Structure 1
Amino acid sequence: LRNFTGNTRRLLYLKLFFKASFAHVNKCPCFSYSRLIHRHPVLFVLITCMISCILAVLPLVLAPLPDFSDPTIGFATRGTTISRRLDTLEKLRQEVRNAEIFSRFPDSLDVKEQITLKKRHSSNDRRKRPKQDKFNENGDTNITMFCSYSPSSMNSMVVFHLENPFSYKSLSALCKFEHRLYNTPLRHGLHLSSAGERSNGGPLCQPWHLASIAAQLVYKENCADLEPADQPFLVELIEKCIPYRRVIAHCLKSSARGSGKTCESIPENCRRFELHMLYNVLVPKDLFQSAQSNATTTLKMKNDSLSNLIDESVIFNANQSFETLMILSVSRRALQFHDDPIGLYNSILFEVESLSNEATMVAIRLGIEEAMFKMSLFRDLIYNVLAVIIILLIIFCFTRSVMYTAACFLCIIMSLGVANFLYTIVFNVRFFPFINLLTLIMVIGIGADDAFILHQAWKMAEKEDGENSSEDVIRNTLSHASTAMFVTSATTAAAFFSNLLSPIVVLRCFGLFAGIAILCNYVFTILWLPAVIVLLRRYNCKRDSGCKLNLSSRLFTMNTIREYGNKLASPSRLLVKFISEFDLMLMLIVSGVGLAAALAFFVGPSLQLPHIDHFQYFKVSHPTERWPFEQKKRFAFTEKAADMPMIMTVVWGLREESSPKQFEPTDYGQLEILPFTLGNNVSVQWMMQFCSRIAAQPFTNSLKLSSTASCFLPSFISALQHENCGSDRCCGDYVDSFNSSQFERCLRKTMIEYRPFLEHSDSGLLMGPLFERRTNRLAMVIVTYISTYNFSYAFNELETAPEELKGAWFVSENLKIFDLQLALTTISKVSLPIAIAITVVVLLLTTRNVLVITMAMMTIIAVILTLSVCLVLLEWQLNVIESTTLTLATGLSFDYTLHYAATYLLVRRAGSRKPVEEIFCKVGSPVFMSMLTTAVGGLCMTFSSVYAYYQVGVFMLLLASISWGYATFLFLPMCSVVCRLSSKLPSIHWPWKRRSHTQGSTLPPAAVPQSEAPSPLPELPPSFAFTGKAVADNNIISC
């Protein structure tokens, strides 16, 4: 250093200082992780608790709390072609509604002129409006009890099953139920006083049901006046008038208009609107069976003559049981935001139960489903709590330590808190869907698995290293358990993270949060639980004479638990003996089951897409779900509301990509304007031809929407043709010579003049020209049509547009459900191969044994195929929750097989000739307890009424049992067979690892006799091997 001066010497001194410092660090054993835990367990526990508590509290302070008011938010796609266009259209609709950037009408209209135009158009509308009939839709002109209109599917309703519908007892039960609803405190719960429907502002309308109809048919004021003697007359009238059920409404309408020809063939006492309501609204449409063939009935229905609609061959039995409706005089929308929806629902159930067996409630439709679902999400968390308690009891029975069980519980809670911090603050995702709550039960099951493995590894390390080598115990425990736990956690997290590839927003959010939670649980298991075990060990060392890990609590139940444990040991020994003795037979039988599952999977039916457009809140057996799934399609009057036309929209002047946030379903990005002009003659002529050709297509319905509202250009040119030419030259004589500025000026004038008419005729749709608010410049054009059925070939003519009209795009709001279902069918095809590929890579890196990898992958594939077949047999549909669970099948089915595979390599390296016995001795109990905790957690969730909780519970129950069954009765027999047939396994030897054929022998390879030379076994990763004494003798197994 004397040869250097100045800065050079100082740099050399600095270099030597750092070199010496890091050399000291590398040699110093106190920097070992196990040494740190051994010397400073209290520091680890306190720092971990403090950091996790701070990180868990930060999201509660810095971010808004999750909002589950609308649970359907996020169940849509993001990033697909259709979703990009729909998001852009929704953002445009918001901008037009706010009228800050774009406006449908230019801002150059004088207020006085606006009022004059409005009066002129309104007077024309009144002059042209036809006289309304008093009959409206149902022909009812003289009803005293009911409202003067027919009920709709928007009304609240209850479906009853009646054993003898027209008996006096059944009608009295319905009447009693009506009285309880309308004359008790339930009246206020149903908002009848404030939101109930009234006839012309008068008294409250009465509900529609069989008893109220029967009272009118026998000329009674209300159903309370019915008597048993009224039944024969009622049944006779109903049976007599059944053939005319299709023509009663036509007869009443024609009578209201003064024409009675339609009613000539109908008996006079059958011309009752009550009978029309009975036949066509209150009872199922399949109740009245015709003895004629379907072909004859169809021909009669197609005939225009109403007389041919009379069916004399109807078969009807008045004593048969059927379902019937009670339609309440309050809309579902009025009850949508009820304060106590579950209380209202339970009160109605209580009233139904008081009706004895004469009337039982089948389904209910009140509009409170979303509010009930929001409250049930938190109410049914009690089943999560129950699952946690049972799982903790299982951990306690296995470890016999209250403190260790409490530490496992705190580890899971801390991992969820830190996961929420990373999800909300670090990744800045503010949307928290309700399915993220499902992560709790999954993390509990996986956390219990890690707790069992760590506890068992510690016990095995203590047996090998003796009672006083506590530092070696920690090191050997972590070296064996950390990698096994990391592999299972990493594969499960990878299965969760594969949902990030899904275009469905809620699946992305769920995959991100659940994957983070799994990794956090692993980190806390490595940091927190070993330090807790060290503290418990020191506590036991102070109390006991030895230092062996004794987690047993000083409770009087320990002897009882130990006694039951000894009793359970006998069946486990029988199981081990059974697998060892009949390994080949078990392998063939269980492989046959797997092949049968594969055949059923590839040949038989697969998971189907949902057949109804309905977000399922509760289980199918729930009364609120039985209406859309079972009862809705049985009543004819609800079919009219389901016939919604497809609205097609074409947009010019706007880029279809608005770049919204991928994890925020309520964010629609920013609009980007494209250069757009519609002023030269070529563009105008092309747009005119486009509108006329689309209107003439068979897939458009020009009667649903006027041409003025759908495509403005033909009406605009026609209006100019009728204008007198003035100084502004906005008339038909100058249309062909318009430039861009003249065209826009005349368009603005026309839009201002016809604004009241256009606002009245647009049906609330976004259509026509849009202007920039600041400059009044024509910014874009929207053409809207209503389709009849098809959209696949709708707008291929956009390719022929002139250059200034390029960039148009087509979308329809009705394609949102189609896009969601398309994403559901493709997500499994993408996520499952990725999850399986990650599993193969993890197995390759951890086992480095081709045969073990092959056996493990055969087991995992058999688990996935069998699970899929079971879900098909359970009639699962490929919805969002089901798609999520299928993606997780790979990661969660991998755990048990991996534990067996790692232990198999360990015992084979030790030279064991009885792998099944030693595998069960080392990891049999932790694997079984892990399966038991997962199954118990899933079983508890099946009692929930929330559909998502129930589905996840069924999935966890099936997956735990199937995965453990295949791992135990397929993978272990294969290991036993391979061990018996050959001791030579093909291995992958890495170039940086030296192959040692003489390990354990002082002789060179050539000097070792062939009969005595040890068979070359695969190298085992350090994390799967205990560093210490030998595992066991070949013939002696010590558990």
Structure 2
Amino acid sequence: MERMNWFARIIAYHPYVILIGVAVFAATCIVIPVTTRKPPDFSDPTSGFQSRGTVLSQRITAWINLKDATRPSGPLSVNPKGDTVDLREISKIRRHRQHHKGQKVNRTEINRNVIAKVIYSADESTYNANEIPDKLEDSGKISAVYSVFVQNEHQIETEPPVEDEWETLTHLGEDPKRHGSGSDHKNHVHLASDGFFCSAPNIEFSRVVLSSLGESGLFNWESILSMCRIEKRLTEGEEFEKLCEKVSDEKCCPAWSLGNYIALLHNKSSCFNITENDVNLTLALLQYCAPYFYNLMLTPECTEERNEICQQVPPQCSQHNAVYNILYYLVDASFLPPNKSVSTLDNAMLILPFGRSSDTLDYYRKIDSASLQYQDIKVTAMELGLKNTLFDMYLVQDTYLVGAGALFVLLCMWAYTHSLFVTFMTVVAILFSLGISYFVYTLVFELEFFPFMNILASVVAVGIGADDAFIFCKMWQCIKAERNSWTVVKLMEEALSNAALSMFVTSLTTAAAFYTSCVSYITAIRCFSIFAGTATLANFGMMVTWLPASVVVSEYWCCRSRFPFRWLRSENVCSCGGRFLSFDKLVVTVVLKFKYMWLTMLGILALISVVIVFWWPRFSLPDTRDFQLFDSSHPFEQYELYYSEKFLFERINKVGINTKLPLRFVWGILPVDNGVSLFR
């Protein structure tokens, strides 16, 4: 107790010096990292949640290091010029495509196209590798093991003359009419060779999934018309027109949908014009051509060039690449699977004519508020490339929840202390503790990575700061009620000697619990534990310096008879209020009188919690490699967690070329982690 007397006397005699000194120190700690360090980057909310230091992560690191070392620019490269790209050649190719679009391209090197076997399961049926025709295996132009359909770049037969690049650069931004080609380009119609779509579907385009809520499925006339109506809702409005690729200056490209491909095959201008007979004929065509698709004979190249492989495919199967694009992009893999002739289409893909990017935010807001269901057809999932951007937006928007919780705690503190001044100074102390923690985190520990999870430390700081303030104010009130004749110095000595120990124990145990998580293999958890533990200790320092000095200032102004702002007076700090003593007695009485009831209720609640956690539904490890940011019912999460695996192009893109578990043995490469190290 004697050790705290000198410090208590300093606070009692010089409260303004303490407040000014602490404020200057905390403000300095905030200004230095803010001005000398880059602000935290939350553009990738999944960053930091990868495990590091485990046996598996080290093996993955060794594999990544091997791939990096064997790149053309790596130290183990056998062809250092392999990744050299001539920008002049790229410019030639682009100019050739613009001036000779629609002309037939000579593709003599078909072996540059990787056509390989797709091994996957659909409706418990597995495609047999031995069903590949012998001619395909003997041609030597494909890989017999791995599988993916990759469209080859156009091989140019003749090249146009190279223009003067300086002349081209000097005319940038000028009126194109001066040079003759501007007006032609303005009136140019950007359509593919089929005359309907602008280009071929691609994984980089935005897309939505349409599902049937009934038993009839999607491949019938009524369902396809319903999908056309939903497509019309998705492809209209100012937000869509700002994003879409254009056929001309005023018309957007059509979306790649099942209804539009049926319209293309039957020479209809819109999917609203198709008939039931058109749908039945298209279904029969898909059933007829599906074996060629799964035997890897039907490829995108069959439309433009009838090579040895494509000659075995009937011409109607390769017309406009419709069958290939429908089976590969637009229908789920369980539809018309290998070795089965009849199947129900439950899910269909609608590919929108604009890329996946953060620019689709306004478009998403528009369709999110619209009705995306017609009869039994509903939009169940979507992929707009907007997941991380939307998470960042929600993260900023949801800060009001943290503020609302903090406001509730502070209102309780104001009601308890009857001092707006003490409540305000407690808020400042909490903010200062977070600033000091950020200073120690970035400049003392020299940690550059600041995950968004560290923001949750603000919630912890509010709770711990309020608890410490309650402890000190309660101790001050009770001692003043018992020793009303004591001076402020004696009151501070007694209150600080009793409250400081309680606050120190609670802060130390809380900080120790946070620091224990530093041994975690997850980087984000380790960073959070360091930041939250440091904030807890900084909060303790503020509560034994800033808060006592604030109480002394409040006591001084409260006791003055001519205090100018009476609504700031601290009545309960000057005298212990009777209403809170009565409430304390009520709580003690209720707890002691009904002790058996509380034991029974809380015991039953604990047993129920054990069942929920360990039995049903219980905690379970994630069974997907996609990082979930939103609720499972969100359309973005539905796409990644459930629907993306149902479509062939997504399945190949996610799983890779070989869908079986690969075994890779690496020698001579050390698992050196080149990421940001937490401790140097």
Alignment TM-score, normalising by the size of structure 2: 0.69
Q: CA deviation at 1:91?
A: 5.8
Q: Does 1:621 align with 2:633?
A: yes
The percent of aligned pairs where both chains have the same amino acid is 26
Aligned to 1:543: 561
Aligned to 1:180: 236
Letter in 2 for 1:104: S
Letter in 2 for 1:433: P
Structure 1: distance between partners of 2:291 and 2:72: 49
Aligned to 1:349: 368
Aligned to 1:309: 340
3-state SS in 2 of match to 1:180 = coil
Aligned to 1:104: 77
Q: CA deviation at 1:41?
A: 0.8
Q: 1:214 to 1:427 in 2, by over 3 A?
A: same
Q: CA deviation at 1:624?
A: 1.7
Q: CA deviation at 1:33?
A: 1.4
Letter in 1 for 2:341: I
Q: After superposition, where does 1:255-404 map in structure 2 within 5 Å?
A: 274=322, 281-284=329-332, 309-311=340-342, 323-332=347-356, 335=357, 338=358, 340=359, 342-349=361-368, 352-353=370-371, 360-404=378-422
Q: After superposition, where does 1:47-446 map in structure 2 within 5 Å?
A: 47-84=21-58, 86-87=60-61, 102=75, 104-105=77-78, 143-146=194-197, 151=201, 153-161=203-211, 166=222, 170-177=226-233, 179-180=235-236, 184=238, 186-189=240-243, 192=245, 206-216=254-264, 218-223=266-271, 226-227=272-273, 230-234=274-278, 236-237=280-281, 246-247=290-291, 249=293, 253=298, 274=322, 281-284=329-332, 309-311=340-342, 323-332=347-356, 335=357, 338=358, 340=359, 342-349=361-368, 352-353=370-371, 360-446=378-464
Q: 1:174 to 1:270 in 2, by over 3 A?
A: farther
User: What do the CA deviations read for 1:594-620 (whole angstroms, capped 9, x no partner)?
Assistant: 345446656667522211111223332
Q: CA deviation at 1:242?
A: 7.9
User: What do the CA deviations read for 1:860-895 (whole angstroms, capped 9, x no partner)?
Assistant: xxxxxxxxxxxxxxxxxxxxxxxxxxxxxxxxxxxx
Aligned to 1:587: 599
Q: 1:542 to 1:30 in 2, by over 3 A?
A: farther
Aligned to 2:13: 39
* Alpha-carbon contact 1:241-1:270 (below 8 Å) kept: no
Query: Which protein has greater RCO, CA pairs closer than 8 Å, 6+ apart?
Result: 2
Q: After superposition, where does 1:513-532 map in structure 2 within 5 Å?
A: 513-532=531-550
* Alpha-carbon contact 1:162-1:170 (below 8 Å) kept: no
* Alpha-carbon contact 1:157-1:327 (below 8 Å) kept: yes
Letter in 2 for 1:213: Y
* Alpha-carbon contact 2:372-2:379 (below 8 Å) kept: no
User: What do the CA deviations read for 1:507-557 (whole angstroms, capped 9, x no partner)?
Assistant: 211111110001101110111111101100110111289xxxx996469xx
Alignment TM-score, normalising by the size of structure 1: 0.47
Structure 1: distance between partners of 2:350 and 2:587: 59
* Alpha-carbon contact 1:79-1:662 (below 8 Å) kept: no
Letter in 1 for 2:629: Y
Structure 1: distance between partners of 2:69 and 2:80: 16
Q: After superposition, where does 1:794-813 map in structure 2 within 5 Å?
A: none
User: What do the CA deviations read for 1:189-221 (whole angstroms, capped 9, x no partner)?
Assistant: 35x36xx9x9xxxx9863222432343355312
Q: CA deviation at 1:635?
A: 3.5
Q: After superposition, where does 1:22-33 map in structure 2 within 5 Å?
A: 32-33=6-7
Letter in 2 for 1:628: E
Structure 2: distance between partners of 1:163 and 1:598: 37
Structure 1: distance between partners of 2:288 and 2:585: 76
Structure 2: distance between partners of 1:611 and 1:544: 68
Structure 1: distance between partners of 2:455 and 2:447: 15
* Alpha-carbon contact 1:419-1:513 (below 8 Å) kept: yes
Q: 1:237 to 1:660 in 2, by over 3 A?
A: closer
Structure 2: distance between partners of 1:310 and 1:359: 24
CA RMSD, Structure 1 to Structure 2 (Å): 4.8
Q: CA deviation at 1:420?
A: 0.6
User: What do the CA deviations read for 1:239-291 (whole angstroms, capped 9, x no partner)?
Assistant: 76786584374698399669898879xxx999996567557753455678xxx
Letter in 2 for 1:624: F
Q: CA deviation at 1:631?
A: 2.2
3-state SS in 2 of match to 1:145 = coil
Instruction: Flag the structure with larger Rg.
Output: 1
Aligned to 2:130: none
Q: 1:171 to 1:598 in 2, by over 3 A?
A: closer
Structure 1: distance between partners of 2:426 and 2:643: 47
Structure 1: distance between partners of 2:72 and 2:40: 27
Structure 2: distance between partners of 1:509 and 1:398: 35
Q: CA deviation at 1:663?
A: 1.4
Q: 1:386 to 1:234 in 2, by over 3 A?
A: farther
Gaps of 5+ in 1: 1-25, 109-124, 289-300, 317-321, 670-1039
* Alpha-carbon contact 1:78-1:662 (below 8 Å) kept: no
Letter in 2 for 1:36: I
Gaps of 5+ in 2: 82-107, 113-138, 143-148, 152-191
Q: 1:50 to 1:152 in 2, by over 3 A?
A: same
Q: CA deviation at 1:40?
A: 0.8
Q: 1:467 to 1:629 in 2, by over 3 A?
A: farther
Q: CA deviation at 1:591?
A: 2.8
Structure 2: distance between partners of 1:572 and 1:40: 34
Structure 2: distance between partners of 1:84 and 1:239: 50
User: What do the CA deviations read for 1:383-423 (whole angstroms, capped 9, x no partner)?
Assistant: 32333333322322232222111111100100011101111
Q: CA deviation at 1:428?
A: 1.1
3-state SS in 1 of match to 2:544 = helix
Aligned to 2:131: none
Q: Does 1:663 align with 2:678?
A: yes
* Alpha-carbon contact 1:172-1:211 (below 8 Å) kept: yes
Letter in 1 for 2:678: F
Q: After superposition, where does 1:602-681 map in structure 2 within 5 Å?
A: 606-644=618-656, 645=658, 650=665, 652-653=667-668, 655-657=670-672, 662-663=677-678
Structure 1: distance between partners of 2:607 and 2:401: 36
